[in-house]
Amino acid sequence: MKLFRRMATSLLSVCVVVSMFYQPAQGHRSQPAELYHRAWELVKDNYYDANYNGCNWVDLEHKYDNQLKTTSDAYKCIKLMLESLNDPYTRFLDPKAFQDENDAIDAHIVGIGINLQQPKDSTRLVVTRTIENGPAETAGVRAGDEIVAIDGENAVGMSPEQAAEHIRGKIGTPVQLALKHGSQNKTVCITRQEIAIHAVSTKQLSSGIGYIQLSTFISSDASKEFRAALQKFANADGIVLDLRDNPGGLLSNALEIADMLLENGSIVSTISRHGRHTDFSSGEPMTRQPIVVLVDEDSASASEILASALKDNARAIVIGTKTYGKGLVQEINRLPGGAAIHVTVSRYLTPSGSDINKVGVMPDIAVAEKSDQMKVAVAYLKEKIASLKPIKTSSLYQSE
């Protein structure tokens, strides 16, 4: 059965998303009340939980009617309405934030070149990755740094999305970050630049093993870059696929990349209020090389879909630590005037039927120390490769 494909767009945090855009009629100028009601209606019709997480959604339809005088009022009230769901993934994006997402999909953003994560049950903002030779890395920002202030404003308690709004700005303008790493504190001033987002990096390891690091599923080029990496290592004996620190992105990328590797089986099932849908591999993989997948606690969303698909179909061995546990799917809906809302529209199950939300994907081989994970992966692959090589029969024992 051929792989089902769907149009998708992305989030900047740990999310998998599909897209449904609402376009007002040409020439239509939305009034604040119409804008608010459109957002309310999108959640009413599409939210994955028919009970709305215990929220009385009907009561919110006209709750703020007397406050909706301007577009800014509508934006504020939409945020308050969505917060009633107590769902961090269903949220509002103003036009600037929505444009930032589209720029990320196009693989070009104006910023400083970092990935941010907020550990579970924490108010800290931690840098999980810096883009090689990007402005942040050049200024001395490193993975593991905690951002405590942005341009003098306290950043503790900010979500990664809120921090991104503060950090991004016009090209050539400066942003000041106060950083903490252990007991050390420092302040850096970084000039914003246009950043080209490369989802894939590769290198050749010893003994004929290829290494592919997939750092994001956000870029629309991610699957194309991954295909090129597989072609580069077509003659390798095995592949290490590194999904550590990968917060997710486009569902379509996860589906396409899984299909490049799977010989058969399902990839993921999504369950919404409107039914269940399962995506299957096409059965035409680009490679049958042995694969090890590296994961950690920051591997989330699309990363978990890919790791689960390969693990549950016995296509790869997963090594590392338990993943983040993001098993919900968001839909990005464009609103009149250029804003948008993310709406959680479904939950997903792995091919084995597991719901990994708030649970995560358990590795086949648990290795706590990050520095040891690659060593274990290479050792496993070498043993696997050796077991697959045919035993040569000496000519002295061949029959005439």
Q: What end-to-end distance do the CA atoms of the chain give, in Å?
A: 48
Q: DSSP strand E in 49-173: where?
A: 91-93, 108-111, 114-117, 126-130, 146-150, 153-154
Our CA dihedral for 319, 321, 325, 330, rounded to 10 degrees, sits at: -50
* Active site annotation includes 308: no
Closest Cα partner for 301 from 341, 269, 342, 254? 254
- Give the distance, in angstroms, between the CA of residue 56 and the centroid of all CA atoms in the same chain: 31
100, 223, 312, 346: which is the annotated catalytic residue?
A: 312
Kindly tell me the sign of the dihedral angle through the C-alpha atoms of 3, 276, 12, 138: negative
Grouping H, G, I as helix, E, B as strand and the rest as coil, residue 234 is: coil
Among residues 266, 299, 326, 346, which one is catalytic? 326
- In three-state secondary structure terms, 44 is helix
- Catalytic (active site) residue 312: yes
- Give CA separation, 306 vs 51, 217, 301, 315, in Å: 30, 11, 9, 11
Please confirm, yes or no, whether 326 is among the known catalytic residues: yes
338: left (phi over 0), alpha (psi -120 to 50) or beta: left
Structural tokens at position 316: 């790869």
Query: Is the distance from CB of 349 to CB of 361 less than 8 angstroms?
Result: no
Catalytic residue (one of 272, 301, 303, 308)? 301
Please list, in sequence order, all residues whose beta carbon lies within 8 angstroms of the beta carbon of residue 74, skipping any fewer than 6 positions away.
32, 33, 35, 36, 68
Strand partners, 185: 180
Q: Taking Cα atoms as reference points, which of 318, 254, 259, 310 lies closest to residue 286?
A: 259
- Point out the residues that are catalytic: 301, 312, 326
